[in-house]
Amino acid sequence: MSAISPPQSLPSFSSKSPSKTLTPTPNSTRSCNRIHCELKKSSAAPQKWTIDCVSSTDPIHIILKPPNSALLPSPMDSSLKNSKRVCLFYCSEMRDLAERIASESDAIELRSITWRTFADGFPNLFISNAQGVRGQHVAFLASFSSPGVIFEQLSIVYALPRLFVSSFTLILPFFPTGTSERMEDEGDVATAFTLARILSNIPISMGGPASLVIFDIHALQERFYFGDNVLPCFESGIPLLLNRLQSLPDSDNITIAFPDDGAWKRFHKQLQHFPMVVCAKVREGDQRIVRIKEGDPKGRHVVIVDDLVQSGGTLIECQKVLAKHGATKISAYVTHGIFPNKSWQRFNHDKGGNPENGMAYFWITDSCPETVKQVKNKPPFEVISLSAAIASALHI
């Protein structure tokens, strides 16, 4: 994807460019320049995708945001709901997403925290203008990208509800440890249980239990790990994917593939109107091989869907099997691009005709900010922002 420097060149979303109009509308009151892009296809109503260039942090940073009408309530509802002002605090690594969320709505106001460290390594934190949150709805946008950052953010999460706020919401787009939630052997330590317990212990505020917003939690059972004093709110990034798929020129040739039954269980209901392929890992002697269990990818643009990606091994094996069975284009979507140790580097861009070696698109959301920084402007990666979904979750 070409870099964007308003108002000159245009990004191209697909190889067959529909006609586009570009209206740069730099907004001087906010930190991002917003460029509205209209994609006209012969068969569908024009879709307005927004591209944000967040100039305060990165000069060029392309984040796709779906048309507002898809996710936010209708104008009449929103005028009532917009009267709920929300003070949004955030951890340092989530600053970009926080700014995008605040730009979604006048009712969301960014607040700041001073994050320092004492000499012994423990946090020295100060919430600016703490008295100003009394009687306000308050939210904190967290990111537990590693165990080391949990304690400082948790200190804020435990402190904010006790500042006489009228409600408290914790937004944790990606809930880590989710893959280690089973105890198969007595002695396994399910760290997902530890994290859920820590979050369940958020103090109650004047508005009752804290709300906890999580996107695409790994295991469906994990919703029961949370105690009575928090109200988990499980959201999904799949509606954002749906929007994006509908704007593709070959949207009528898309088939969804799931790498395993777990992914199918999690997502098939939200993707019902697409044909599906389900893969499975089958044991052959010592090896485990990916096979297609159901469905036919032949001649299709197949989009592999899962909640998260770590090393990428599973996705690559699925890709090979799908290509072998005749998929003409292969893309992937994961809500959470964890990619430890830069494993995203394994994914090549297929510019056309080469589905066994590259992907046409690899969509991730901005739930994992460190990855977003690394993959921006690197095809096949495209980042779809959760900001609109989070902004509307804050108005519940």
Our finding on whether 9 is near another protein (CB under 8 A) is no
| Nearest C-alpha neighbor of 13 from the set 369, 363, 388 | 363
Selected binder of another protein within 42, 287, 341, 353 (CB under 8 A):
341
- Only one of the segments 4-12, 139-147, 214-222, 231-239 lies at the binding site for another protein (rule: CB under 8 A); that segment is 139-147
Selected binder of another protein within 197, 288, 298, 351 (CB under 8 A):
197
- Please say which residue, 5 or 124, places its beta carbon nearer to another protein: 124
- Please say which residue, 248 or 375, places its beta carbon nearer to another protein: 375
Contacts of 222 (CB under 8 A, 6+ apart): 175, 178, 181, 192, 196
| String marking each residue 140-179 x if it binds another protein according to CB under 8 A | -----xxxxxxxx-xxx-xx---x------------xx-x
For the CB of residue 379, give the shortest distance to another protein in the complex, in Å: 24
- Rounded CA separation 111/140 (Å): 10
| String marking each residue 263-302 x if it binds another protein according to CB under 8 A | ----------------------------------------
Q: Give the distance between the most distant pair of CA atoms in the chain.
A: 65
For the CB of residue 128, give the shortest distance to another protein in the complex, in Å: 6
Q: How many residues bind another protein (CB under 8 A)?
A: 52
Question: Which residues within the stretch 102-121 sit at the binding site for another protein (CB under 8 A)?
Answer: 118-121
- Only one of the segments 94-102, 196-204, 259-267, 321-329 lies at the binding site for another protein (rule: CB under 8 A); that segment is 196-204
**Residues engaged in binding another protein (CB under 8 A):** 118-131, 145-152, 154-156, 158-159, 163, 176-177, 179-180, 185-191, 193-195, 197-198, 201, 203, 310-311, 338, 340-341, 343
